[in-house]
Amino acid sequence: MTLEEKVGQLFVMRVFGASATEPDPADVAANQADMGVDSAAELIARYHLGGIVYFAWAHNTRDPHQIAELSNGIQRAGLAAATPVPLLVAIDQEQGAVERIGAPATRFGGAMALGANGSPDDAFTAARIVGAELAAMGVNQTYAPVCDVNVNPANPVIGVRSFGADPDRVAALAAAQIRGYQAAGIVTAAKHFPGHGDTVADSHVALPVITHSPDRWESVDATPFRAAVAAGVDSVMTAHILVPELDGSDDPATLSRPVLTGLLRERLGYDGVVVTDALNMRGVREKYGDDRVPVLALRAGADQLLDPPDLEVAYRSVLAAVRSGELTEERLDESVARLLTLKVRRGLFDRPPTTRERVDEVVGSRPHQQAADAITERGVTLLAADAGVLPLTRHADREVLVVGADPAAPSGTGGPPTAVLARALSELGLSARALSTGGAPTGDRIDAAVAAARDGAGAVVVATYNVTADGTGQIALVEALVATGVPVVTVAIRNPYDIAFLPPVAASLATYGWTDVSMRAAARVLAGVASPAGRLPVAVPRAGDPDDVLLPVGFGLTAGA
């Protein structure tokens, strides 16, 4: 390989368009403005890229057949180069809160829903199914599993993306998912090293600081990553976080040699691919310019540079660093060898193009959907219940009103979560209707919900979403509905901490997700078709006192009566 080809292998890049060679005119314009090319094929040829990462906003994931054809086109472009090398086609398909491909692909509740489920076998099955569908669409890498231990309820960016707060449980489920993805031929990525679970800032927009001592890091954060290494994880993704007790240089972990080389490679014995988190995130750009960040990441021990804000600047900077001797060609060759070895080990050089027939056979198949429903259902957690409230079929002679938050979901959903939940209840024999009140309900919306509850409702189900002490609208909505005397059931559709901020209600559930599969699972529990089997994978602290536990890890009621 030429020097230029080797440098190109280090980069995984975004690109606009649903086609590798003939994107829509608007996507051509976006690519020209962003990177000076028309298409993915041109981008790959110009920079000898090692990978492409898909995003819904870049119009890469419109439907399974389109995704498959885009993936095939990307591989044709890679194999048409002077030195033919297949590309890593990557995606953030964690499930739940972070997924780029919606229905008709099979969807699960996400990591914390699996944490509440608690079964490594179910975690393996979920990953194998998701992996098989990705492979059918020509995607060969997912940036999963999340190995962060979510010990901070105020964490704004991890939360339900984590399996939970118990390091050993996170380790077991992460290892199971690694094996499941790999069974489907998918390249895995344990993230975000050295651990993003105890932050109060989002590294997309700031540089979070974690104050863990080396001993606490070893006992909490390191445990899932050790398990991932032992399970043979293909890559480890870095975190744009500052951990002063692990490196006093004020460099984020992505740029820290003591963290990436000292801890990950030497302490944990990991010799696989290290991939940065996206280099366009604010957390890695606060201290250094975009020309220095890629070079410093490689000097720290990274191998793969994900989505820099300006590819031309990043690519030229790495080339210049090698030519000047700041990075030796031997160091460059180490990373390229790791990447090529990974591509050989996962069979990318021998993998044939995918087909429409394969997509139709695998993606969203009935057995996959049935498994997703059953696995997600086993994570639904009953946090509180008065006698005689559940199942809601006890109120079958009257309407069930479903109100609350309707956060955005990936394409291909059955509609807003409240609508999906109401429809699922109706399909189970209840009379149910939805009235969306939003995540910050105004007085008018609260009044409308109260009027609807008083107009003959037998019960009200409220979907709550990340309630905090400042979430006065959601709190006021629940208070007003409780005051009607109609039984109120809350369903926390993201973080399970909502119950601490809300007034006592007749029953309270946590689903850890708001996409269709989670809403159907909640409906089956509410209707008594399924028993709640989930257990809290995190502790719920009392409102205003994070040190006082309201509900401990492992809590969960088994029946509503």
Which is catalytic among the residues 34, 65, 202, 204? Answer: 204
Task: Identify residue 380 by its one-letter amino acid code.
Answer: V
Alpha helices, H only, 10-119: 25-35, 40-47, 64-79, 111-117
In the residue annotation, 516 being an active-site residue is answered as no
Alpha helices, H only, 355-461: 356-362, 366-377, 417-427, 443-454
Task: Identify residue 241 by its one-letter amino acid code.
Answer: I
Which is catalytic among the residues 234, 277, 373, 406? Answer: 277
CA atoms in the 13 A half-sphere facing the CB of 473: 18
Question: 227: left (phi > 0), else alpha (psi -120 to 50), else beta?
Answer: alpha
Structure tokens at 339: 């990447």
CA atoms in the 13 A half-sphere facing the CB of 417: 31
Q: Closest Cα partner for 298 from 267, 266, 268, 326?
A: 326
Q: Closest Cα partner for 238 from 319, 294, 182, 313?
A: 294
In the residue annotation, 198 being an active-site residue is answered as no
Q: Closest Cα partner for 297 from 343, 248, 235, 252?
A: 252
C-alpha–C-alpha distance, residues 308 and 311, integer Å: 6
Q: Which residues contact 251 (CB under 8 A, 6 or more apart)?
A: 242, 287, 296, 300
Count the residues in the chain. 561
Burial of 246 (0-12, 13-18, 19+ CB in 10 A): buried
Question: 429: left (phi > 0), else alpha (psi -120 to 50), else beta?
Answer: left
Q: Which residues contact 558 (CB under 8 A, 6 or more apart)?
A: 382, 531, 532, 533
Contact 94, 72 (CB under 8 A): no
C-alpha–C-alpha distance, residues 231 and 53, integer Å: 24
C-alpha–C-alpha distance, residues 285 and 115, integer Å: 33
Strands 540-542, 545-551: pairing is antiparallel
Q: What are phi and psi of 511, to 5 degrees?
A: -110, -20
3-state SS string over 462-505? Answer: EEECCCCCCCHHHHHHHHHHHHCCCCEEEEECCCHHHHHHCCCC
Cβ atoms within 10 Å, residue 271: 12
Q: Catalogue the active-site residues.
A: 204, 277
